[in-house]
Amino acid sequence: MTPELARDRIIETEALAARYGHVQALQPTDMHVGEGELVAVLGPNGAGKSTLLRALVGLTVSTGMVRFRGAPLPRGNAVAVAARGVVLVPEGRGVFGPMTVAENLELGAYRLNDRSEFERRLDRVLGLFPRLKERMSQTAGSLSGGEQQMLAVGRALMAEPKVLLLDEPSLGLAPRVVSGILETLGSLNRAGLSVLLVEQKAPLALELANRAYLLSTGRVVAEVDPREIKSHDDLAQYYFA
Ligand SMILES: Nc1ncnc2c1ncn2[C@@H]1O[C@H](COP(=O)(O)OP(=O)(O)O)[C@@H](O)[C@H]1O
Ligand SMILES: [Mg+2]
């Protein structure tokens, strides 16, 4: 690969692999997200989607390589990875239930010392998610599932990520709520944010994605152009080929 092409990839893996004891949850995997791309990773339960994201950000012990804008990312150090701008919205949202919405958002920007920059980021997040603005002093645990997902995304955005990784943001949410959140992700992406979106709900993710990887039993079984997937059957053929 030429250095020019390497720079076009905001994040890429080379033979990234992870195991839990005897379970090889992620086979050596090469994948990437281009600058400004929205890439979906689709696959059934247990396919290794969460393991891939956790390995990318250093929350799971892994082998192989992760590069960010061509340079190796620190391994096994999620804090250092987040400081580079690679930020994960985890499966199950990971908001701090007993803390208020405002406190959760503040935590997203805990490395920031600049008050006016903090206010600027907060205004932007609350502009994207006005529901959170009305609930700033409520505990995160008292929010609905959809609001908690907004908070999880909002908290990640407070860190001003360069690439946002999302682990099944639609899980357990009503379709209308999901489409609102995905629309917001789409508009963030159109404004320049690179996104890696893990989903089981393929049609929703494919509507937004520039490209998609299909993961099955820890392996990328196909890379697809979302425009070529018209039906569930089109997708199924990759799994049963
Ligand atoms: N902490 C863990 N300990 C042991 N096995 C795990 C652990 N987490 C996940 N696995 C196994 O690794 C495989 C991939 O899991 P995961 O990455 O969570 O898949 P997905 O997110 O696609 O549902 C599954 O077989 C799962 O049972
Ligand atoms: Mg998962």
Q: Annotate 88-113 with DSSP letters as a single string.
A: EE-TT----TTSBHHHHHHHHTTT--
Which of 19, 22, 23 has the most ligand 1 atoms within 8 A of CB, as the residue to mutate? 23
User: What residues contact residue 94 under an 8 Å CB cut-off, 6+ apart?
Assistant: 152
Strand 23-34: give its sheet, edge to edge: 23-34, 9-20, 63-68, 71-72
The predicted pLDDT at position 130 comes to 95
Lowest-confidence pick of 45-59, 75-89, 227-241: 227-241
Amino acid sitting at position 223: E
Residues with CB under 6 A from ligand 1: 20, 23, 25, 43, 45-51
DSSP 189: H
Ligand 1 atom with minimal separation from the 51 CA = 17
Whether pLDDT at 3 is above 70: no
Whether pLDDT at 5 is above 60: no
Determine what percent of the chain is predicted with pLDDT higher than 90.
81
Ligand 1 atom with minimal separation from the 26 CA = 14
Domain ranges of the chain: 3-97+160-240
Please give the distance, rounded to the nearest whole angstrom, from the Cα atom of residue 238 to the centre of ligand 2.
20
Whether pLDDT at 213 is above 70: yes
Which CATH code fits 3-97+160-240? 3.40.50.300
User: In this structure, which ligand is nearest to the CA of 171?
Assistant: 2
Rounded-to-integer distance, Cα 207 and Cα 196, Å: 14
Q: How many CB atoms lie within 10 A of CB 106?
A: 16
User: What residues contact residue 123 under an 8 Å CB cut-off, 6+ apart?
Assistant: none
The predicted pLDDT at position 234 comes to 74
Which of the four pLDDT bands, split at 50, 70 and 90, describes residue 228?
confident
The predicted pLDDT at position 62 comes to 95
Please give the distance, rounded to the nearest whole angstrom, from the Cα atom of residue 166 to the centre of ligand 2.
10
Strand 163-167: give its sheet, edge to edge: 86-89, 163-167, 194-199, 38-42, 211-216, 219-224
In the numeric block, the tokens 């998610």 are attached to 129
Whether pLDDT at 66 is above 90: yes
Please give the distance, rounded to the nearest whole angstrom, from the Cα atom of residue 168 to the centre of ligand 2.
7
What is the pLDDT averaged over residues 125-130?
96
As separate numbers, helices (DSSP H) first and strands (DSSP E) second, the chain gives 10, 10
Question: Rounded mean pLDDT of the chain?
Answer: 92
Rounded-to-integer distance, Cα 106 and Cα 109, Å: 5
